[in-house]
Amino acid sequence: MSMQHYLLAAEGLNKSFSGFQAIRDLNFALEKGELRTVIGPNGAGKTTFLDLITGRTKPDTGTLHFEETHDLLKMNEYQIYRLGIGRKFQTPTVYVDHTVRENLLLSLAGSRGILHSLFGRVKKEQEARMDEILHTINLTDRAYAKAGSLAHGQKQWLEIGMLLAQDAKLLLVDEPAAGMTDEETHRTGELLLSLAGKHTIVVIEHDMTFVRQISAGRLVTVLHQGNVLCEGSVDKVQNDERVIEVYLGRKKKAA
Amino acid sequence: MNHPLANKVPNLALAAIALFLVVGMPALNAAGSIEDFTLNTWGKYLCYAILAISVDLLWGYTGLLCLGQCLFFALGGYMMGMHLMLMIGKLGAYKSDLPDFMVFLGRKELPGFWEPFHSFPFAALMVFLLPGVIGGIFGYLAFRSRIKGVYFSILTQALTYGAALMFFRNELYMGGNNGFTDFRSILGADIRSPETRRMLYLASAITLVLVFMFCKWLTTSRYGLIQRAIRDSENRVLFSGYSAANFKLFVFVICAMIAGVGGALYVPQVGIINPSEMMTEKSLEAVVWVAVGGRGTLIGPIIGAVLVNYLKSWATTKYPDFWLIIMGASFVLVVLFLPKGIVGIPAQIREWLARREGRRAAAAEEELLTSAAKTK
Q: Kindly list the domain boundaries of chain B, sorted by start residue.
A: 9-340, 343-376
Using CB atoms, pick whichever of B221, B225, B243 lies closest to residue A106.
B225
Contacts of B260 (CB under 8 A, 6+ apart): B72, B73, B75, B76, B79, B127, B128, B130, B131, B132
C-alpha span between B82 and A232 (Å, rounded): 76
Q: What is the pLDDT averaged over residues B141-163? A: 95
Q: Where does the pLDDT of residue B3 fall: very low under 50, low under 70, confident under 90, or very high at 90 and above?
A: low
Q: What are phi and psi of A38, to 5 degrees?
A: -115, 120
The answer to whether A95 contacts B250, with C-beta atoms less than 8 Å apart, is: no
Is 60 exceeded by the pLDDT of residue A2? no
Using CB atoms, pick whichever of A76, A82, A97 lies closest to residue B232.
A97
Q: What is the pLDDT of residues A32-56, one digit of tens each?
A: 989 999 998 888 889 999 999 999 9
Q: Where does the pLDDT of residue B6 fall: very low under 50, low under 70, confident under 90, or very high at 90 and above?
A: low
How many pairs of residues across A and B have Cβ atoms under 8 Å apart? Answer: 74
Is 90 exceeded by the pLDDT of residue B1? no
Q: What is the pLDDT averaged over residues B26-38? A: 93
Which letter does DSSP use for residue A24 in this model?
A: E
**In this structure, is the dihedral angle defined by the CA atoms of residues B21, B24, B27 and B32, taken in order, positive or negative?**
negative
Q: Does A84 fall in a domain? A: yes
The answer to whether B236 contacts A94, with C-beta atoms less than 8 Å apart, is: yes
Q: Is B225 on the interface with A (CB under 8 A)?
A: yes
C-alpha span between A132 and B246 (Å, rounded): 31
Using CB atoms, pick whichever of B226, B228, B233 lies closest to residue A117.
B226
Counting residues of chain A whose pLDDT is more than 90, the rounded percentage is: 58
C-alpha span between A160 and A184 (Å, rounded): 13
Q: Where does the pLDDT of residue A1 fall: very low under 50, low under 70, confident under 90, or very high at 90 and above?
A: very low
Q: Is B246 on the interface with A (CB under 8 A)?
A: yes
Q: What is the pLDDT of residues A69-122, one digit of tens each?
A: 999 999 999 999 999 999 998 888 899 999 999 999 999 988 899 999 999 888
Enter the pTM of the model.
0.88
Q: Where does the pLDDT of residue B376 fall: very low under 50, low under 70, confident under 90, or very high at 90 and above?
A: low
Q: Is there a contact between B87 and B273 (Cβ–Cβ < 8 Å)?
A: no
Q: What is the pLDDT averaged over residues B343-350? A: 91
The domain that holds A88 is classified in CATH as 3.40.50.300
Q: Which residue of B has its CA nearest to A93?
A: B236
Is the model more confident about A1 or about B236? B236
Q: Does A217 fall in a domain? A: yes
To test the contact with chain B by mutation, choose from A72, A99, A118 the residue with the greatest count of B C-beta atoms within 10 A, namely: A118
What pLDDT score was predicted for residue B327?
Answer: 87
Chain mean pLDDT for chain B:
93
C-alpha span between A167 and A164 (Å, rounded): 5
Q: Does A181 fall in a domain? A: yes
Go through A116-131 and write b for each residue having 16 or more CB atoms within 10 A of its CB, e for each that does not: ebeeeeeeeebeebbe
- Residue A82: list chain B partners with CB under 8 A: 241
| Domain carrying residue A173 | 6-95+169-248
Q: Does A160 fall in a domain? A: no
What pLDDT score was predicted for residue A184?
Answer: 87
Interface predicted TM-score of the whole assembly (ipTM), two decimals: 0.83
Contacts of A62 (CB under 8 A, 6+ apart): A10, A11, A12, A13, A14, A26
Q: Is there a contact between B276 and B27 (Cβ–Cβ < 8 Å)?
A: no
- Residue B295: list chain A partners with CB under 8 A: none
Q: Does A156 fall in a domain? A: no
Q: What is the pLDDT averaged over residues B64-72? A: 96
Contacts of A45 (CB under 8 A, 6+ apart): A15, A22, A23, A24, A26, A223, A225, A226, A227
Counting residues of chain B whose pLDDT is more than 90, the rounded percentage is: 80
Report how far apart, in Å, the C-alpha atoms of B341 and of each of B332, B345, B348 are: 11, 7, 10
C-alpha span between B365 and B367 (Å, rounded): 5
Using CB atoms, pick whichever of A77, A107, A120 lies closest to residue B238.
A77
Q: Is B50 exposed, middle or buried (0-12, 13-18, 19+ CB in 10 A)?
A: buried
Q: Where does the pLDDT of residue A247 fall: very low under 50, low under 70, confident under 90, or very high at 90 and above?
A: low
What pLDDT score was predicted for residue B369?
Answer: 83
Q: Is B148 on the interface with A (CB under 8 A)?
A: no
Q: What is the pLDDT of residues B90-114, one digit of tens each?
A: 888 888 889 999 998 889 999 999 9
What pLDDT score was predicted for residue B2?
Answer: 45
- Residue B241: list chain A partners with CB under 8 A: 78, 81-82, 112, 166
Contacts of A171 (CB under 8 A, 6+ apart): A86, A87, A88, A163, A195, A199, A200, A201, A202
Q: Is B221 on the interface with A (CB under 8 A)?
A: yes
Q: Does A113 fall in a domain? A: no
Q: Is B279 helix (H, G, I), strand (E, B) or coil?
A: coil
Q: Is A117 on the interface with B (CB under 8 A)?
A: yes
What DSSP assignment string belongs to B133-161? HHHHHHHHHHHHTT--HHHHHHHHHHHHH
Q: Is B233 on the interface with A (CB under 8 A)?
A: yes
Q: Does A117 fall in a domain? A: no
C-alpha span between A95 and A104 (Å, rounded): 10
Query: What total number of domains does chain A contain?
Result: 1
Q: What is the pLDDT of residues B159-213, one digit of tens each?
A: 999 999 999 999 999 999 999 999 999 999 999 999 999 999 999 999 999 999 9
What DSSP assignment string belongs to B56-99? HHHHHHH----TTHHHHHHHHHHHHHHHHHHHTGGGSTT--SS-
